[in-house]
Amino acid sequence: MKREGIIIGGGASGLMAAITAAENGASVTILEHMPRVGKKILSTGNGKCNMTNRFLSEECYRCGDRDFPMQAIRAFGQEQTIAFFRRLGVLTTEKNGYVYPASGQAQTVLDALRAKAECLGVHMVCDCHIVSIRKKNHGKRELFEINSDCGLFLADFVILSAGSMAAPSTGSDGSGYELAKTLGHKIKKPLPALVQLKCRGDFFKSLAGVRTDAKVSLYILGKNGERETLLASDTGELQLTDYGISGIPIFQVSRYAAEALDRKKRVLAAVDFMPSFAAEEVYSVLKEQRTYLGDREAAEFLNGLFHKKLAALFLKAAHIRPEQTVSGIPDRMLSELSDWIRDFPFEVTGTNSFDKAQVCMGGVNTRDVDPLTMESRLVKDLYFAGEILDVDGICGGYNLQWAWSSGHAAGENAAKRR
């Protein structure tokens, strides 16, 4: 007799779970509270869908149990993901390890998943909101009862793949956490991750729109403002906004800022605006600049090195007057200017909200979930997949890879379980 399964949430992990379960002989229904399945997939990779990455390691994931994500990923990793989508008709292309559909469109990936699910007879019920879920004996069978505004559904197994709280407009509204809690699972507090940082300072409006390569180092500050603990660092294109800092390196470290701020810690982002230069090299460049532009005003001193808005910020920080002659800038001021360029401190006051975050940190505690099968250790035949779990990856296709890997594990094991 076919196993009857309900998948709550039709995002990336839910669609993967549905297809895998159906391929393994289960009868599958997806319950999705949005008008259509897979909306969040369309926003991934800036609309191009960064499906996975050739370079995968445990350092790419953050989780309360460090090895939890990689146990699922080792069983179904990037090679299996690429082969899976090729069987769905999707050809992939790679750039510096980042894997995309050859079409360059996320819609290609969603269409392929939806078409395959339909071919396998997966039933999709959209605009469906879950009211409650429980297990109850039905004769000799113990079944899940899923009560919804679309009626009552019965199932041998349930896969919770309802997402996190990031980007709620795409369907991730945190409702899955409440369902998990009613079934006895603990939730680590969700916080925005892969998100912009808000910073203190009245100069940000003048810097809005500036982009530059930089290294960002995130610190917890002590009681006296000293740098107490290095949380994380990353290098890449920094974007300055009217409220703070953004860009890939900010996204990569943002979850650590969110967590520290939630613990009422003071957080500092120290930015090196010349990350490819050593300290003495920056000072040497500035001395050369003084030699070449000695007859100019200081306002023009850094224009060949930085965006004019940044140059003005550095000069002001080093107390160099724009109207003074470059040749008159003393060595001690050049040294101070070098220090500001290499280590400009921005105090972080918060993150942007969930609606701006790509993913969340936090979620269902992974200690209560089998990392190989994604089955609950507390409730038989209950499985989890995707962002609902306390797993978040860095930028670069890692979160989608987690969706594919966890969805595949959940779907395969739920269908085969007897």
Residue 249's identity, in one-letter code, is: P
Inform me whether the pLDDT recorded for 223 exceeds 80: yes
Residue 418, pLDDT score: 64
Cα 175 off chain centre by: 19
Give residue 279's pLDDT band: very low, low, confident or very high (50, 70, 90): confident
pLDDT, averaged across the chain: 96
Q: Mention every residue, 6+ apart, whose C-beta is less than 8 A from residue 154.
A: 4, 138, 143, 144, 145, 146
State what percent of residues in the chain have pLDDT above 90: 95
C-beta of residue 99 within 8 angstroms of C-beta of residue 93: yes
pLDDT per position as a tens digit, 101-118:
999 999 999 999 999 999
Tokens of residue 376, six digits? 């609950």
Cα 99 off chain centre by: 16
pLDDT per position as a tens digit, 174-209:
999 999 999 999 999 999 999 999 999 999 999 999
Handedness of CA 146, 152, 157, 158 (dihedral sign): negative
Give residue 171's pLDDT band: very low, low, confident or very high (50, 70, 90): confident
pLDDT per position as a tens digit, 59-95:
999 998 989 999 999 999 999 999 999 999 999 999 9
Overall average pLDDT of the 399-418 stretch: 94
Residue 2, pLDDT score: 87
C-beta of residue 130 within 8 angstroms of C-beta of residue 148: yes
Residue 216, pLDDT score: 98
pTM for this structure?
0.94
Cα 349 off chain centre by: 20
Cα 371 from Cα 18, distance rounded (Å):
19
Cα 7 from Cα 237, distance rounded (Å):
39
Question: From its phi and psi, is residue 374 left (phi > 0), alpha (psi between -120 and 50) or beta?
Answer: left
pLDDT per position as a tens digit, 120-166:
999 999 999 999 999 998 888 899 999 999 999 999 999 999 999 99
